[in-house]
Structures are given as structure tokens and as C-alpha cells.
Structure 1
């Protein structure tokens, strides 16, 4: 019965994670603590093992859709990976409540800004200045997906590296995929379309979550008997989420993401302030 419930949890987390690029850990970690009576460290470590498979499954789906910006995703991983390792070891020394509150407040305001911009402009934010306006550190990018849709933008990857490091830090410390921070940075700072941002974040998340879970394995925080049924659900849910994301318009997907993250930020803050 426990295994079945964990599989259902994985299915839901994988669907949401692939749909909006958040990995699903932000749902799984609180539930593992509240309903399955795991301590925070083991919930975080077990969640990260699950997220490895979320990211792998969703990335395979997005490869078929041809919506991954490989250059941006791999460069982003060079900062999220060390962040995840540091975050993993920090679970031994730093109270997670403090960082959870900071993360909750941060993602709340990021999501609110994305939601406001989406309704104000009527379209997802992208950077369209190209050619002569391009400058050092700005990459002119052109991606054609499997349906023939063209995404053109100037990627300002270096402007977001510090914040991407924080995304990796949050991943290793809190057992989330890092997409809560990475996707908004890809959209608002780097200049990716929301569709490309979600797909690319999954590529980055593969490396981030592997680094984080490796650290937690060394610390003895990963429970394979809990992770296995979660992964079964994840592999199905992530495929469904990626396919659903393909059907949504950029505006709709950005709003879905913003609302989801807004609610997650509120839950994180309330949980920590109430001590639950």
C-alpha cells in the first residue's frame, strides 16, 4: 500500500515537474515528511534521487520535441552543480527552516513578477534584440522544434550565473530540482521563451540532481526503498507533463508556471513559520 501511494505521488510530481520545470521535489519533500514520517535530511536525499529520473525522463521527451537549448543548459550546469554539492553538505550544519523561508519569499516574488508581466504584455517574455544590438556575452540563438515552430532570442547567460548557483544550492539543500529558480532566471534574465526555458531546465537538472544526490548518498540520506516506487510514477508522469506542455501556448504555460510557483512559495513560508 505504501509503495502504491508513493507511485501515485511520483506520478503527480513528475507530471507537474515536467510541465513547469520544477522537478517535483517541492511537492514530494513535504509529503515524505508529513505523511511518511521521514526526517528532513532523508526526505531531501530521497527526493533528489527521484528528481534524477524526472529530469532524465522529461529531457528525453523534450529532445524529441527539439526544444532544448543545449549550449545554455550545459553552461548553466557549470554553476548549479557546485551549488548542489555545497547545498548537500550544508544540510549537516545549517537549519533548513531559515533557507526554506528565504526560498519561499524569493520564489513568491519571482512568480508574482512573471505573472504580472504575462498579463501586462499579453505574451511570454522573450528577448528579441539581435544582430547589431548583440554584445559580448549575448548569444544569438535560433531553435526550430519538431513542429517547425521557430524560437529566436538573444541569450544573456552570464547575467544569470550567480542566481543559477543559488538554484543549485537550493536543490542540494532542500531536495528540489532547482527549477523553481532556474526557469524564472532563464526567462527573465537570460531571455529564453518559457517553452525553451522549461525544456532546458530539465537538461540542467540532470547534472544538478546527480551532484546533489551523490552528496546525500555519502551522507546516508537516500532511502532506495522509498525512491523506487516514486521513480515508477515519475517515469510516467514526466512524459505526460512534457506532452501537455507542448500543447500550451507560451502565455498559458508561463501563467501556469507562475501560479504553481506562487502557491509553492506560500506553502514553503507557512510550513516554516508554523514549524510543520
Structure 2
């Protein structure tokens, strides 16, 4: 019965987070730690590995629709990959409550920033690349330290830098695909993945990731698509508040 529930949970999470430009690491982490009561180390490792296939499938779907901004996405990856490695190595020495507080505050600030009118049209490209690097580093640390997907800072950063909602979601999925590979390798090396729980979640999420790009394409044609960005801002603020608990 638990396997069926995990498959269904993975499907729903896959559809939701890939539609929102995330990887679902925070949701998987909460589910594994709070519902199935596995250790934090095992939950972190399992969450990042579980999210990997669905992120790749989702980003491929967005690539086929030509919605990925590779200039900003690659800049984020260049900055984020070293941060993932540093975060994974530093994780055992960082008090969890301090990490959660700092990341929570950052996410809340980024979520609020989404609601501020964008003036990106007058921002030089060089400055946008520097800002993309900053958001990439924050995201990389989230992946390396806690096994989260790091989607919050990436998505918020892309929206703040002026991408429309569809492009931001697509580019975020692309960035997270690269980060998840590095994060998964780092966490797999520790041998803490719970495959009995992770595999059903992974399968369900992969199916959901096939659906998400199609769903976003239809939503983008809606007259109310602008509301999706506001919803994302609220969700990022909520993620920040939840992270600090």
C-alpha cells in the first residue's frame, strides 16, 4: 500500500514542481523525514537522487519548446556547481538551525522581490550575469548542504532578472538538472539513499515530469498566466518560512 501511495505522491509532486520550475527536493525531504521517519542524512540523499530523473525529463520537454535561456542558465550553473561541492563537504560542520534560518530569510527576500516591478530592461548584461552567479551560489549551497533541489533561488533570480514566467520555469529546470547530477553524486558517495522509498517516488515523479511541460504550454496561452508568477512568489516566501521551522 505504501508503494502505491509513494507512486501517487511522486506523480503529483512531479507535475507540480516541474510546472513551477523546481526539483521537488524540499517536498521529498519533508515527506521522507516527517512521514517515513528516516534519518535526516538518508532523507537528504534520497530526496536529491529521487528528483533527478524527473528534472531531466522536465527540462528536456522545455528544451523542445525552446524556452530555456542558456545564457543565464549556464552562468548559474558555472557558479552553482562549485557551491554544491563546498556545501556537501561543509554540511557535517554547519549547525542545521543556523543553515535553515539563513536560507529561509534569503528565500523570503527573493519571494518578496518578485512582486517589485521589474526594471531589467535597463540593466546591463554584465550585471545580470553577476546576479545570476549570486543566485546560482545560493542554490548550489542548498543542494550541497541539505539535499534540497535549490529551485527557490534559481526561479526567483530568473524572474527578477526579467525572464517571463514560462522561460523562468524552463531555465530553472535546466539549471536544476545540472545541479542535481552533482548533488546526487556527492550524496550517493555516502551510501545513504533509501531505495525502497526513493524508487517509487522516482517513478511517479518521472511520469509527472512528462506532463508538466505540456501543462505549462497550455497555461501560457491563458489570459491569467500572469497570476502564475504571483503564485510562485507566494510559494517561495512560504518555502522560506517553512525552511526556518
Q: Structure 2 length as normaliser, TM-score?
A: 0.90
Moved over 4 A (4+): none
Report the alpha carbon displacement of residue 103 of structure 1 after superposing the two structures with TM.
1.4
Bigger fraction of residues in strand:
1
What is the CA-CA distance between 1:136 and the residue it aligns to? 6.1
The 1-side partners of 2:210 and 2:22 are apart by: 14
Q: Distance in 1 between the 2:124 and 2:134 partners?
A: 20
Gaps of 5+ in 2: none
**Which secondary structure state, in structure 2, belongs to the residue aligned with residue 92 of structure 1?**
helix
Q: What secondary structure is seen at the aligned counterpart in 2 of 1:221? A: coil
- TM-score by length of structure 1 reads 0.80
**Residue matched to 2:126:** 137
Other-structure match for 2:154: 182
How far apart are 1:240 and its partner, in Å?
Answer: 2.4
Question: Quick one: which of 134, 138, 160 aligns to 1:166?
Answer: 138
Distance 1:135 1:91, change over 3 A: closer
Cα distance in structure 2, aligned partners of 1:172 and 1:58: 22
Contact 1:172 1:209 in 2 (8 A): no
**How many residue pairs end up in the alignment?**
241
1:54 Cα offset (Å): 2.2
The 5-angstrom pairing of residues 15-94 of structure 1 reads: 15-94=15-94
Contact 1:62 1:242 in 2 (8 A): yes
CA-CA distance at 1:266 after TM superposition: 2.1
Match of 2:210 in 1: 239
Coordinate RMSD, CA, aligned = 2.0
Confirm or deny that 1:227 pairs with 2:198. yes
Q: Distance in 1 between matches of 2:120 and 2:131?
A: 13
Asked if the contact 2:10–2:205 (Cα under 8 Å) also holds between the matched residues in 1, the reply is yes
Give, in angstroms, the shift of residue 40 of structure 1.
0.9
Task: Name the counterpart of 1:142.
Answer: none
Q: CA deviation at 1:159?
A: 2.6
Which has the larger helix fraction?
Answer: 2
1:128 corresponds to which of 100, 116, 121: 121
